[in-house]
């Protein structure tokens, strides 16, 4: 047991709680073994700079066996200038002063520079003078290069941060703001002396007390969450007051690194302002589009009304004028039979009467086709049933009509368009589908729309490749579009065709109190009955 350990036991007056172990003394051979196997370079010099001892590591550095170094001076071992003179001066200083000397050297190597740290230790003789100098040298090239690389990285990072177009700051965990870059100073106007801590930053950047409490709570909550999860601090937008009184919208986020927080500020004020401008422009454009759409819809309705009036006028001319003239001509031809005529003349008169009958029949049919009375007198639902009967009479086409509501919410112009569109689609079925049956479905779609479907199981077609050739479909699609609806076609060759028109109900603006198609005609008839 060593003397120091015995002294501690005696001074404490207590028995040690660990078993006693004797530490063996190191012998000269032990020290020699340590020196020989040390990775450090160990040399011993006398006053004439002769090598008295050299370990294996030092010999390897010189590239010669130990025996060829013992007894030789520094110069004799081939150490070049100025290193030879430097080491002679260092060893001389230790002999003179008797104090250890620490030095650092760099030596150019084959590939790069080597770094070495040396300690020159005086070894005293029995008379108290310095007898020899022991030099222990360690190769610190790897550590030096690592330190140098770290310094270069730190310098580069510092330069990047300083020249970054984004405001940045480094904050210690105790709230000290250790660094703010140049962009942050330019953006906010505060010097590092004005915001040395986060407390000072809170007061200046968020002068409104209630908003400051909100910001502090929000930011610190994100910091604590990031530290707990080991992730970055999630970004958020904050209204930061600058030194000149302007308020900027900043997207602030950060990264905890060790005992510091790296905070980044992205100024999104211009982006937010641009978003507001874009939203304003979009709203204005949408308003113009709505206005233009309303005008187009009104124009489409007016076109339908004008076309309707023109068809009524033509139908009236056919019925009231042309048919009357034809009937009168037929009457005059009948009068010829009362006179004595030769047989050829009588036969000719009979043929004229037959031709007049056909002309009257054609004009009557044309008048009905131009504007069937049912669409005005009985409404859309019964008009669809009349249309199915008409298709059977003319084309032997069996049409099944399914109406899932009373249709009274459909305004007059919309009903006229639906009637004309369905008739056009059924005529397409009769002419092109190759079948003798079709189905018409009318049903509501939500609270503001309804759909009209005309479907068949005929030969079908390619809507993309052949749709452009169907002018009737194009006309229906365009009118549906300006009326606020749309037309969808589902068809494949051999798979039949389904045409669906989606339209808004929209009460008529011209018929106050009117419930829809047919109500004005019903009102007129009711008024006539009362009179």
Q: With 0-12 CB in 10 A as exposed, 13-18 as middle and 19+ as buried, what is 152?
A: exposed
Same fold, 34-141 and 374-530: no
- pLDDT attached to residue 38: 86
Q: Is 22 helix (H, G, I), strand (E, B) or coil?
A: coil
Task: List the 449-456 sheet strands across, edge first.
Answer: 398-403, 437-445, 449-456, 497-504, 486-491
- Is 3.40.50.1370 the CATH classification of the domain at 34-141? no
Query: What number is the average pLDDT over the span 20-24?
Result: 57
- pLDDT attached to residue 4: 44
Give dist(CA 477, CA 215) in Å, integer. 55
Give dist(CA 422, CA 430) in Å, integer. 12
Percent of the chain with pLDDT over 90: 37
Q: How many other C-beta atoms can be found within 10 angstroms of the C-beta atom of residue 257?
A: 9
Among 153, 150, 176, smallest CA distance to 263 is for: 176
* Domain spans of the chain, in order of start: 34-141, 164-267, 374-530
- Residue 318, pLDDT > 80, answer no
CA dihedral 209, 262, 247, 182 (to 10 degrees): 130
Is residue 82 reached through a cis peptide bond, with omega within 30 degrees of 0 on the bond before it?
yes
Which pairing describes strands 113-124 and 130-139: parallel, antiparallel, or unpaired?
A: antiparallel
Give dist(CA 187, CA 247) in Å, integer. 11
- pLDDT attached to residue 498: 94
- Residue 473, pLDDT > 50, answer yes
- pLDDT attached to residue 237: 94
Q: Is 522 helix (H, G, I), strand (E, B) or coil?
A: helix
Question: Is residue 520 very low, low, confident or very high in pLDDT (cuts 50, 70, 90)?
Answer: very low
Question: Is residue 323 very low, low, confident or very high in pLDDT (cuts 50, 70, 90)?
Answer: low
Superfamily of domain 164-267: PAS domain (3.30.450.20)
Give dist(CA 61, CA 515) in Å, integer. 109
- pLDDT attached to residue 192: 93
When comparing pLDDT for 104 and 505, which is higher?
104
Q: What is the mean pLDDT of the chain?
A: 80
- pLDDT attached to residue 300: 65
When comparing pLDDT for 333 and 175, which is higher?
175
Residue 429 and residue 440 in contact, taking contact as beta carbons nearer than 8 Å: no
Of the ranges 329-343, 387-401, 469-483, which is most confident?
387-401
- Residue 327, pLDDT > 80, answer no
- pLDDT attached to residue 336: 64
- H or E element at residue 147: helix 141-163
* Least confident stretch, 65-69, 96-100, 131-135, 217-221: 65-69
354-386 burial code (b ≥16 CB/10 A, e <16): eebeebbeebeeebbebbbebbbebbbbbbbeb
pLDDT digits (tens, 9 = 90+) for 398-449: 999 998 877 766 777 788 888 889 988 998 999 999 999 999 999 998 888 8
- pLDDT attached to residue 182: 92
pLDDT digits (tens, 9 = 90+) for 110-156: 556 788 899 999 999 999 999 999 999 998 888 888 888 888 887 88
Which fold, 374-530? Heat Shock Protein 90 (3.30.565)
pLDDT digits (tens, 9 = 90+) for 355-399: 767 666 666 666 556 566 566 666 788 888 888 998 898 889 999
Among 485, 487, 422, 480, smallest CA distance to 456 is for: 422
């Amino acid at each position: 047991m060593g003397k120091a350990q015995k002294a501690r036991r005696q001074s404490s007056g207590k028995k040690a709680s660990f078993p006693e172990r004797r530490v063996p003394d190191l012998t000269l051979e032990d020290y020699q073994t340590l020196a020989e196997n040390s990775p450090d370079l160990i040399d011993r010099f006398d006053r004439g700079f002769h090598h008295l001892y050299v370990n294996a590591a030092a010999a390897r550095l010189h590239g010669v066996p130990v025996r060829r170094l013992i007894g030789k001076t520094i110069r004799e071992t081939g150490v070049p200038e100025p290193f030879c003179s430097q080491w002679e001066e260092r060893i001389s200083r230790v002999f003179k002063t008797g104090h250890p000397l620490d030095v650092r050297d760099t030596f150019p190597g084959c590939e790069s520079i080597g770094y070495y740290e040396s300690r020159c230790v005086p070894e005293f003789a029995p008379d108290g003078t310095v007898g020899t100098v022991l030099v222990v040298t360690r190769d610190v090239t790897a550590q030096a290069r690592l330190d140098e690389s770290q310094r270069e990285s730190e310098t580069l990072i510092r330069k990047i941060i300083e020249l970054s177009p984004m405001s940045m700051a480094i904050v210690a965990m105790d709230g000290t703001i250790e660094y703010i870059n140049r962009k942050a100073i330019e953006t906010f106007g505060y010097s590092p002396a004005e915001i040395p801590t986060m407390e000072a930053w809170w007061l200046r950047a968020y002068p409104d007390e209630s908003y400051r409490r909100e910001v502090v709570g929000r930011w610190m909550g994100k910091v604590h969450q990031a530290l707990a999860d080991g992730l970055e601090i999630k970004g958020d937008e904050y209204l930061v007051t600058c030194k000149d009184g302007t308020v900027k919208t900043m997207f602030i986020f950060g990264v905890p690194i060790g005992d510091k927080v790296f905070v980044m500020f992205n100024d999104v004020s211009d982006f937010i302002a641009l978003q507001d401008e874009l939203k304003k422009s979009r709203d204005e454009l949408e308003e113009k589009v709505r206005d233009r759409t309303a005008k187009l819809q009104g124009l489409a309705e007016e076109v339908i009304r004008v076309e309707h009036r023109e068809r009524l006028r033509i139908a009236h001319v056919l019925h009231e004028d042309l048919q009357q003239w034809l009937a009168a001509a037929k009457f005059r031809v009948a009068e010829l039979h009362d006179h004595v005529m030769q047989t050829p003349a009588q036969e000719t008169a009979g043929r004229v009467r037959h031709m007049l009958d056909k002309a009257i029949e054609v004009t009557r049919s044309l008048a009905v086709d131009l504007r069937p009375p049912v669409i005005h007198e009985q409404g859309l639902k019964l008009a669809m049933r009349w249309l199915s009967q008409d298709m059977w009479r003319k084309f032997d086409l069996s049409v099944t009509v399914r109406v899932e509501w009373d249709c009274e919410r459909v305004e007059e112009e919309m009903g006229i368009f639906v009637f004309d569109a369905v008739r056009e689609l059924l005529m397409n079925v009769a002419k092109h589908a190759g079948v003798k049956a079709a189905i018409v479905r009318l049903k509501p779609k939500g609270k503001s729309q309804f759909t009209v479907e005309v479907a068949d199981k005929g030969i079908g077609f390619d809507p993309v490749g052949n749709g452009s050739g169907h002018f009737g479909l194009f006309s229906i699609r365009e009118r549906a579009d300006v009326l606020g609806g749309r037309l969808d076609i589902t068809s494949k060759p051999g798979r039949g065709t389904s045409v669906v028109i989606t339209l808004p109900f929209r009460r008529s603006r011209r018929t106050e109190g009117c419930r829809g198609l047919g109500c004005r005609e019903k009102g007129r008839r009711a008024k006539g009955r009362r009179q």
